[in-house]
Structure 1
Amino acid sequence: MSTVSWKTKELTIGELAERSGVPASALRFYERQGLIRSRRTSGNQRRYHRTTLRVVAFIRASQTVGIPLAVIGEVLAFLPEGATPTPEFWVRASDCWREELNARIERLERMRDLFTECIGCGCLSFEQCGLVNPRDQLGQKGGGPHRLNTGPPTPG
């Protein structure tokens, strides 16, 4: 385990991975997506400012509650370059996402309740079940096992 002096303002990708708990491959992906930034040394090695640790923590916390990376990137775009997410920034982001998270929770609760009803009924009918066949979409395709016919027919 490497130790980084608190006076060091830059971290290698390995140090950032170790300190953040995020694999280097994910950090490179975040960088390709524009979520974090690095500078390159003369030997083309990445160097991250220490404030990147907070940005990575923000990304991971946001992902944990189901916020897509594209949406996280939109919010991070409001941070000035080199700035670190402050508690106030976290509150503003949370306010932005509260409505979507509440809608997602409601959708999941409806799915849970529908699933519970479906298990309770026991029919699992492809023709009638709203969970397996919402709005009878399969009925519009005509007869036959459409869910099983996903590839070319097998010789038999």
Structure 2
Amino acid sequence: MTKTSTSLPIGEIAARTGLSVSAIRFYEDQRLVQPQRTAAGHRVFTRADIRRLSFVMVAQRLGFSISDIREALSSLPEGRTPTKADWTRLGQSFRAALDERIAGLTDLRDKLDSCIGCGCLSLKACMLHNTEDVAANRGTGPRYLLGDSPTDI
């Protein structure tokens, strides 16, 4: 491929996204972006790759794995710039996972200062809600944060 006015070298992509060149190469190795090569063998990216890499950055920051991100990006078309409709479909597929994470974070925020059913029995409230560590009958870990209720025990 020859460099065109719409193709961008890796340094420019790095400057636009704030990612290091090595991070962009890593994402290429992980098949999250697929740059073309010039006749001289240099990587060249499309402007659409800026959006892909930005999505990768945000998704990773939200705790999604490279595998999750690769799967989501695989829904985008190859060989053409994704349209708004393409990105909307991708976003909708992520919505359920995001909603689940939001609910979990909200639950953690709201319950962290009360009994979480972990068995420590160190707070006075825990002695009321988890007397003699009855939450342990449901399994290991913070049972109330994992979805059990003190009334279920």
1:41 aligns with 2:38: yes
Deviations 1:79-125 (A, max 9, x none): 22232332222221222122221111222223233321049x98169
Pair 1:12–1:33, CA change in 2 (3 A):
same
Number of residue equivalences: 126
Runs of 4+ in 1 over 6 A off after TM superposition: none
1:107 aligned counterpart, secondary structure:
helix
Deviations 1:8-66 (A, max 9, x none): 12211111101222221211111011010122334432222233222223323433444
TM-score with structure 2 length normalisation?
A: 0.64
One of 91, 94, 101 as aligned partner of 1:94: 91
Which residue does 2:21 correspond to in 1?
A: 24
Q: List alignment gaps of at least 5 residues for structure 2.
A: 127-131, 142-153
Which residue does 1:83 correspond to in 2?
A: 80
Which residue does 2:54 correspond to in 1?
A: 57
Q: List alignment gaps of at least 5 residues for structure 1.
A: 1-6, 138-156
Pair 1:79–1:129, CA change in 2 (3 A):
same
C-alpha distance in 2 between matches for 1:8 and 1:20? 19
Q: Which amino acid aligns with 1:106?
A: A
C-alpha distance in 1 between matches for 2:18 and 2:100? 30
Pair 1:85–1:22, CA change in 2 (3 A):
farther
Q: Which amino acid aligns with 1:81?
A: E
Pair 1:46–1:61, CA change in 2 (3 A):
same
Q: Is the 8 A contact 2:76 2:87 kept in 1?
A: no
C-alpha distance in 2 between matches for 1:93 and 1:80? 11
**Percentage of identical aligned residues:** 37
C-alpha distance in 2 between matches for 1:42 and 1:90? 31
Q: Which amino acid aligns with 1:45?
A: H
1:113 aligns with 2:101: no
